[in-house]
Amino acid sequence: MLELIKAGGWPMIPLLLLTMAALAIVVERFWSLRRERVLPPGLGDEVRAWVGRGKPLEPSHIESLRATSPLGALLAAELDVRHREREIVRERVEDVGRHLVHRMERYLNALGTIASAGPLLGLFGTVVGMIQMFLGILDHGIGDANQLAGGIGKALVCTATGMIVAIPALAFHRYFRGRIAGYIVDMEHEAIRLLDVLDESMGSGRKQSG
């Protein structure tokens, strides 16, 4: 492995940095996007039961709910405007949901950039290696054909490394986007179920959306 890195030359340095950055992002996103961290089991049922009892909702309880998880933040935002019309509550849920999506997609743009930049940096390293090789030929002649083939092989190391960096980065980028989309669907479902409970507990004073 060390020999391949040496063969690629200095363009391998940014490729190795991209590799470490991509690995750090993937590990961090796997940790932050665990299902029990985003959608704690039973939280929706607990909040609906809490609202269904008809007892006054203390602001401190709502703030505690908001701090638990993204799902808790969405349900807390819904409870903040529980006395308003249904359409207003839905708009608040949508607004908060967009902010939560942005927060859950943290670092994913960087991961997508790494997936795009990896092959380009690899190609750049290969071009640099080929230029150096042909300049050597210009100064010293072709010499041994085997040595020439070896030089071309070394130059292509950067291209291969760029692909090795880019393919997993692209795969994980798509995977995390899909996971977040699934979470959003589940969170919207929980918000709608809570909205139905709020309608029942608060009476029919809230206008129904068409």
How far apart CA 4 and CA 22 sit, in angstroms, is: 20
Mean pLDDT, the chain, rounded, equals 84
pLDDT at 206 over 60: no
List pLDDT tens digits, range 104-119: 999 999 999 999 999 9
Q: Kindly provide the b/e burial profile for residues 167-204, where b requires at least 16 CB atoms within 10 angstroms of the residue's own CB.
A: ebbbebbeebeebbeebbeebeebbeebbebbbeeeee
Higher pLDDT, 3 or 196: 196
Q: How confident is the model at residue 204 (pLDDT cuts 50, 70, 90)?
A: very low
Half-sphere exposure (Cβ direction) of 169: Cα atoms closer than 13 Å: 28
Q: Average pLDDT in the 129-152 region?
A: 66
Is the CB of residue 133 less than 8 Å from the CB of residue 152?
yes
